[in-house]
Structure 1
Amino acid sequence: MAKLLYPIYFILIALPLFVLLTALTALLTTVGCLLGGERVFSYYPGMIWSRLTCLLVLSPVHVRGREHLQRGRSYVFAANHQGAFDIFLVYGFIGLPIKWMMKAGLERIPLVGYACRAAGFIFVDNSSPRAARRSIAEAERRLKDGFSLAVFPEGSRSKTGRMGRFKKGAFQVALDRGLPVVPITLNGPYHVLPIGRWLAWPHRLEMVIHPPIDCGALAEGEDEFARMQQVADRTRETIASALWPEFR
């Protein structure tokens, strides 16, 4: 019975409410940030939107490891990318103000793209090495006043739920700014809304926040590329350690 009733609920109730919430959140974020309230409006409307979205699809969320984070400190959060609901988990439940580092194509989403730009999120342009360096420089400028950077180092959602290769941009930011990298393991978003599907399905969601990695201490004395590779490998191994067995 649930397999029959849930799609009806999702199409008639959850999806229309999500669209409405998304539009309202984008408008509130844009207006608030343009009026000078970026510190508040770039984070809290999106945080509430994310939590309500998880409630709408009837997916309970469990978070472990918040005790590893200190309020007022900046971090680079690096998470695996199982599906669309990864965003709602990190944005809604990390508990610290963040700036997103995201694919440039997302800027074209109506209302949402403009809101992200107003909120100071960074759209990564990988069209050339020079453009990629500009994106990294912009990300470094945004990390101030206690804001952290959130990124999916894989760059795109996994087709199987398992992790792919990590890109190095976020780790470059961490090393340049002397910031700790916080590995985040996400479990469950692949079952809720994997790539290629539009009908979300309820499933339990889990976010594991690991202890921060001190980039300087980990890779001291190495050349820049070797340091980035070492931090990226350590981050990936840490994320993998808490994945559910089906995703390892």
Structure 2
Amino acid sequence: MMNEELKKQLRNRRICVVIPTYNNDKTIKAVVEKCLLYCHDVIVVTDGCTDRTTDILHAIDGITIVSYPQNRGKGYALKMGFRRALEMGFSYAITLDGDGQHYPEDIPLFLKANQQHPQSLIIGSRQLEGVDRSKGSSFANKFSNFWFYVQTGRALPDTQTGYRLYPLHRLHGLSLLTSRYEAELELLVFASWHGVKLVPIPVQVYYPPRNERVSHFRPGKDFARISVLNTVLCFLAVVYGLPLRLWRTLMTFLRTAYSLLFFLFFTLVVFTPFVWIYTKVGKMTERRRYRLHQLIYHASRFVMIHHGIPGTKYEYKVAEGIDFNKPRIIICNHQSHLDLMCQLVFTPKIVFLTNAWVWNNPFYGSLIRNAEYLPVREGLDEIMPHLRSLIERGYSIAVYPEGTRSKDCRIGRFHQGAFYMAREFGLEILPMILYGPGKILPKTGWHLHKGKFFVEVDKPLTQEELSAMGDLKQQASTMRKHYKEKYEEIANRIEQ
């Protein structure tokens, strides 16, 4: 990734770099200048420096400096850096030390981890094999890892690293934060108690020769203070952290159970019997079939917009001038079983192409079969006459070009089927870009997470515009690229 593109992506996701420093005049210039190669937005906190550090920083253009006269410790410096970052509109802060221990070259790793795990606290786990460290440093890290596991029930390989990416809007306990080294452990513990996902990633580390190292750690005094802090945190873990975790687990279970029971009740007790009676009593005319589509449409709007899925919010954006009554081929990225509900809120005149197991589903199979949703088994040719009939009756055909749900919400390879249908029927393609379902109900998950559904209905593409892209393969490739760009844009906006 070129550095300018990296800088752009960091700024789009509102990620800055925060460097707390105390008397690092020999290394701070190189550290800051290297960071500026990767990130436009660098905040340096001078923690009451008494050497040339502050003068050196003022000679560097393009950085933000936070200064105060008295040394207050790393915890206080981090707090001041986070406060300034929030004032400047940032949502995330990558922290690294000013002594040259951390490599700014690893900043792209934090961006990638943030894109894969938004709103998570990313921890740079130092690769310490073969590194010349003192026995005291090695013991301190193992000691810290052990107490973190006791206090949270989670294991991390490196709880003492200062190379991290913090989600600034999800930091907890800042007002209680101690002022020195142990503050970084507190931030991890409080984040874990409040359900913030902790994601370790491997990073490089540099330890200079022993005679060149600058350390402000005071073994006796600081170790005693850390021991007292761990005692307090163990007590809080019992009276606060554990109950909070149990409450969060209970609420997740209740949210999932309620949604499942709601779904089962309406499919088995309401819709399935109603559809069976509706289709058996009287002839299934075009008017009666359209009323069935209206039922699905209003039910979807009730579930997604009016009632809502517990713990979620549904929003959408529609390009100006879209007429949903005009037949088109609708394409959408595929993330979850919830995708159909997200799309059905726009119009009753829509028919989905599904796979066979959905079409034969015991819960809602009867409903979608009577609504003329069609399974794609061997190919499109056998259903093309039926599709033509639906289009002539005013229905749009909805297709998932990826063919299957994405495991990680990334846009997969687009197949050519949707573009083939659009060409054969002379229809526009209407893109819908979907965000959220794969995070709320992941492909491999069994419970509902909190989150936001967002659907963006893009402007339709005419056959002339599609033909200008090239053949069907090129159309599919071009549209996949467009989807990746739009999805990244939406994700950057929502994942703040």
Q: Structure 2 length normalisation: TM-score? A: 0.44
Residue 242 (1) aligns with residue 486 (2): yes
Amino acid across the alignment from 1:119: A
Residue 173 (1) aligns with residue 421 (2): yes
- Kindly state the Cα deviation for residue 160 of structure 1 after the two structures are TM-superposed: 1.0
- Kindly state the Cα deviation for residue 141 of structure 1 after the two structures are TM-superposed: 2.6
Distance in 2 separating the partners of 1:215 and 1:95: 23
Deviates more, 1:68-77 or 1:80-89: 68-77
Q: Pick one of 102, 109, 115 that aligns with 2:354.
A: 102
Distance in 1 separating the partners of 2:486 and 2:264: 33
User: Closer, same or farther in 2 for the Cα pair 1:159/1:100, shift >3 Å?
Assistant: same
**More relative contact order, 1 or 2 (CA 8 Å, 6+ apart):** 1
- Kindly state the Cα deviation for residue 95 of structure 1 after the two structures are TM-superposed: 3.2
User: Closer, same or farther in 2 for the Cα pair 1:136/1:228, shift >3 Å?
Assistant: farther
Distance in 1 separating the partners of 2:276 and 2:484: 36
Contact kept? 2:256, 2:448, Cα under 8 Å: no
**Structure label with greater radius of gyration:** 2
Distance in 2 separating the partners of 1:61 and 1:167: 28
Q: Pick one of 372, 395, 401 that aligns with 1:153.
A: 401
Amino acid across the alignment from 2:329: V
Residue 139 (1) aligns with residue 399 (2): no
Q: Pick one of 271, 295, 305 that aligns with 1:25.
A: 271
What is the DSSP-based 3-state SS (H/G/I as helix, E as strand, rest coil) of the residue aligned with 2:471?
helix
CA root-mean-square deviation: 2.5
Distance in 1 separating the partners of 2:257 and 2:334: 28
User: Closer, same or farther in 2 for the Cα pair 1:90/1:71, shift >3 Å?
Assistant: closer
Amino acid across the alignment from 1:40: R
Residue 115 (1) aligns with residue 115 (2): no
1:9 counterpart residue number? 254
Distance in 1 separating the partners of 2:409 and 2:257: 28
Q: Pick one of 29, 46, 62 that aligns with 2:296.
A: 46
Spell out, residue by residue over 1:132-166, the C-alpha distance to the aligned partner (whole angstroms, 9 max, x if none). Answer: 41134432332233211111111110011101111
Contact kept? 1:75, 1:182, Cα under 8 Å: yes
Count of aligned pairs: 238
Amino acid across the alignment from 1:4: T
Q: Pick one of 326, 329, 338 that aligns with 1:76.
A: 329
- Kindly state the Cα deviation for residue 40 of structure 1 after the two structures are TM-superposed: 1.9
Contact kept? 2:429, 2:460, Cα under 8 Å: yes
Contact kept? 2:297, 2:348, Cα under 8 Å: no
Spell out, residue by residue over 1:39-72, the C-alpha distance to the aligned partner (whole angstroms, 9 max, x if none). Answer: 121x222223334444133311111115342143
Structure 1 gap ranges (5+)? none
What is the DSSP-based 3-state SS (H/G/I as helix, E as strand, rest coil) of the residue aligned with 1:185?
strand
Deviates more, 1:22-31 or 1:137-146: 22-31
Distance in 2 separating the partners of 1:27 and 1:122: 21
Contact kept? 1:32, 1:38, Cα under 8 Å: no
Contact kept? 1:57, 1:201, Cα under 8 Å: no
What is the DSSP-based 3-state SS (H/G/I as helix, E as strand, rest coil) of the residue aligned with 1:173?
helix
Structure 2 gap ranges (5+)? 1-243
Distance in 1 separating the partners of 2:471 and 2:275: 37
Deviates more, 1:132-141 or 1:186-195: 132-141
- Kindly state the Cα deviation for residue 212 of structure 1 after the two structures are TM-superposed: 0.3
2:344 counterpart residue number? 91
User: Closer, same or farther in 2 for the Cα pair 1:96/1:125, shift >3 Å?
Assistant: same
Q: Pick one of 156, 162, 187 that aligns with 2:410.
A: 162
- Kindly state the Cα deviation for residue 243 of structure 1 after the two structures are TM-superposed: 0.8
Distance in 1 separating the partners of 2:377 and 2:394: 25
2:472 counterpart residue number? 228
Spell out, residue by residue over 1:92-121, the C-alpha distance to the aligned partner (whole angstroms, 9 max, x if none). Answer: 2x2352001111221221142222111111
Spell out, residue by residue over 1:199-219, the C-alpha distance to the aligned partner (whole angstroms, 9 max, x if none). Answer: 122211100000001123431
Contact kept? 1:30, 1:118, Cα under 8 Å: no
Q: Structure 1 length normalisation: TM-score? A: 0.84
User: Closer, same or farther in 2 for the Cα pair 1:188/1:71, shift >3 Å?
Assistant: closer
Residue 182 (1) aligns with residue 437 (2): no
Contact kept? 1:96, 1:148, Cα under 8 Å: no
What is the DSSP-based 3-state SS (H/G/I as helix, E as strand, rest coil) of the residue aligned with 2:451?
coil
Distance in 1 separating the partners of 2:275 and 2:395: 16
Contact kept? 1:25, 1:49, Cα under 8 Å: no
Residue 56 (1) aligns with residue 309 (2): yes
Deviates more, 1:52-61 or 1:185-194: 52-61
Amino acid across the alignment from 2:356: A
User: Closer, same or farther in 2 for the Cα pair 1:66/1:95, shift >3 Å?
Assistant: farther
